[in-house]
């Protein structure tokens, strides 16, 4: 019997899971518009500015560890429900923060939710999606991330003249999507791959028949069960799978240390350095969010056609070149630098941003996917903290030359991707596992 698929159902559960990405985008972007207000409210210097921004990543590291344990013991769906609750509580607490330390503490709590969602949403989508749709479906998570960034930047810009407490509204409005995410996650089915691993193959078969037809469900169950029988233990550092884990970790670190997120988080600081007004600084965040969204949509069209590796190479090489131009433009004090920063955002949005998450969600064998994904995403957030914590300090000392550092990292990333990343498009997760561990 020919396999058929329930595309509307697959799309629906992927979008609901990807609401975690929207909240990831919200917490990631809200700090950019709020920083000018927080600097005045709490008297932040370069150190505290970097720490207030980077505390999200410290929480995300904790979130990755928590998510891995919850996802393995209780399932992916329960992890998404916990993440949504954390988002809601932390958004309200940050909005009501009476002081700097309280605010930073709950931004760290928000990071726990971000870390959980950043790991679980793409992993869940990869596990419920047929091979030929997986790249686009996982990229939906990145689409909701960039949508969250754009909407948050628009809201921040709208609230910019609402007085010194405008930042409280910026954070407090995060409660609304948090509630929507929680309600949506209640409706989600559990991942069939987790159900098989938990010895609940009958339930997995029912869900697989909702995703496709009986033929798809039957063949999927056979390959998933075979994968679990052949997997070489549950240790992520087992010799057979270590190369995949190392590749995933390095790609995750590179996605952050390539430097683009300083443009997202520190747009006001960068444009202040060339004399742009506060209104102009916040308007630039809106332009950045718009370009980010458009090029993420382009990535969704290309990821299952061109493949993962060509897009990753284009992103690494393109960013290296654009950063060198950005240095020259900032040194000249030219407002035209915005065009090159937007080009860098677009390059990142159609390559390293979504495709790294796609690769992390698919290169690990079923039996260790939770543990290995936790390690990779934890590494990503550690790299993000290093990036955003050090940028204000580096920019104060090196000014525009800071971007030379990121250009050098991009060149190293290009070489690593060229030598070590294998193409994964069009293969089932179990077929990829056969390649990785040599079954």
Residue-level pLDDT at 439: 43
Beta-carbon contacts of residue 252 (< 8 Å; ≥ 6 apart): 356, 360, 376, 377, 379, 380, 383
Per-residue pLDDT of 232-242, as tens digits, reads 445 545 676 78
Round to whole Å and give the CA distance between 275 and 284. 13
Of the pLDDT bands very low, low, confident and very high (cuts 50, 70, 90), residue 26 is: very high
Q: What percent of the chain has pLDDT over 90?
A: 38
- The pLDDT of 282-298, averaged and rounded, is 87
Beta-carbon contacts of residue 221 (< 8 Å; ≥ 6 apart): 196, 201, 204, 205, 208
Reduced to 3 states (helix: H, G, I; strand: E, B; else coil), residue 212 is strand
Per-residue pLDDT of 183-229, as tens digits, reads 999 989 999 888 988 889 889 888 988 888 888 888 888 888 887 76
Reduced to 3 states (helix: H, G, I; strand: E, B; else coil), residue 5 is strand
Residue-level pLDDT at 433: 65
From 384, 250, 395, select the one nearest 326 (Cα to Cα): 395
**Token pair listed for 310:** 């060509």
Per-residue pLDDT of 71-85, as tens digits, reads 888 999 999 999 999
Residue-level pLDDT at 94: 95
The answer regarding whether domain 7-188+231-437 maps to CATH 1.20.1250.20 reads yes
User: Taking a C-beta distance cutoff of 8 angstroms, is the pair 44, 165 a contact?
Assistant: no
- The pLDDT of 28-54, averaged and rounded, is 87
Round to whole Å and give the CA distance between 431 and 373. 18
Does position 68 have pLDDT exceeding 60, yes or no? yes
Per-chain mean pLDDT for the chain: 87
Round to whole Å and give the CA distance between 57 and 20. 16
Per-residue pLDDT of 326-377, as tens digits, reads 999 988 888 788 899 999 999 999 999 889 988 887 888 777 777 888 888 8
User: Taking a C-beta distance cutoff of 8 angstroms, is the pair 140, 14 a contact?
Assistant: yes
User: Taking a C-beta distance cutoff of 8 angstroms, is the pair 174, 91 a contact?
Assistant: yes
């Amino acid at each position: 019997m020919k396999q058929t698929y329930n595309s509307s159902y697959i799309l629906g559960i992927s979008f609901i899971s990807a609401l975690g990405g929207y909240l990831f985008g919200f917490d990631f972007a809200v700090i950019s518009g709020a920083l000018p207000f927080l600097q005045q409210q709490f008297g932040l210097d370069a150190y505290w500015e970097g720490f207030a921004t980077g505390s999200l990543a410290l929480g995300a590291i904790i979130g990755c560890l928590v998510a891995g344990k919850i996802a393995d013991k209780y399932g992916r769906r329960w992890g998404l429900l916990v993440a949504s609750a954390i988002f809601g509580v932390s958004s309200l607490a940050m909005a009501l923060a009476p002081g700097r330390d309280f605010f930073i503490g709950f931004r760290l709590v928000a990071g726990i939710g971000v870390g959980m969602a950043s790991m679980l949403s793409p992993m869940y989508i990869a596990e419920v999606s047929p091979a030929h749709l997986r790249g686009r479906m996982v990229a939906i998570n990145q689409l909701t991330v960039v949508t969250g960034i754009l909407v948050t930047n628009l809201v921040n810009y709208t609230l910019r003249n609402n007085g010194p407490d405008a930042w409280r509204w910026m954070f407090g409005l995060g409660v609304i999507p948090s509630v929507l995410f929680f309600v949506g996650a209640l409706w989600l089915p559990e991942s069939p791959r987790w159900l098989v691993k938990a010895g609940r193959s009958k339930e997995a078969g029912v869900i697989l028949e909702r995703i496709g037809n009986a033929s798809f469900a039957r063949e999927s169950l056979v390959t998933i069960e075979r994968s679990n029988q052949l997997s070489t233990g549950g240790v992520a550092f087992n010799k057979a799978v270590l190369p995949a884990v190392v590749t995933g970790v390095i790609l995750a670190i590179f996605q952050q240390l390539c430097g683009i997120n300083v443009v997202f988080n520190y747009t006001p600081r960068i444009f202040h350095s060339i004399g742009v007004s506060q209104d102009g600084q916040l308007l630039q965040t809106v332009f950045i969010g718009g370009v980010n969204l458009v090029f993420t949509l382009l990535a969704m069209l290309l990821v299952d056609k061109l493949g993962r590796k060509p897009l990753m190479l284009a992103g690494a090489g393109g960013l290296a070149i654009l950063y060198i131009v950005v240095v020259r433009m900032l040194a000249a004090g030219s407002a035209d630098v915005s065009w090159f920063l937007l080009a860098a955002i677009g390059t990142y949005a159609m390559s390293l941003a979504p495709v790294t998450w796609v690769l992390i969600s698919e290169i690990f064998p079923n039996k260790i996917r939770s543990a290995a994904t936790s390690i990779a995403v934890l590494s990503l957030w550690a790299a993000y903290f290093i990036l955003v914590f050090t940028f204000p300090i580096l920019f104060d000392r090196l000014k525009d030359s800071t971007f030379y550092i990121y250009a050098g990292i991009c060149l190293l990333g290009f070489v690593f991707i060229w030598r070590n990343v294998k193409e994964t498009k069009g293969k089932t997760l179990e077929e990829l596992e056969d390649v990785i561990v040599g079954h």
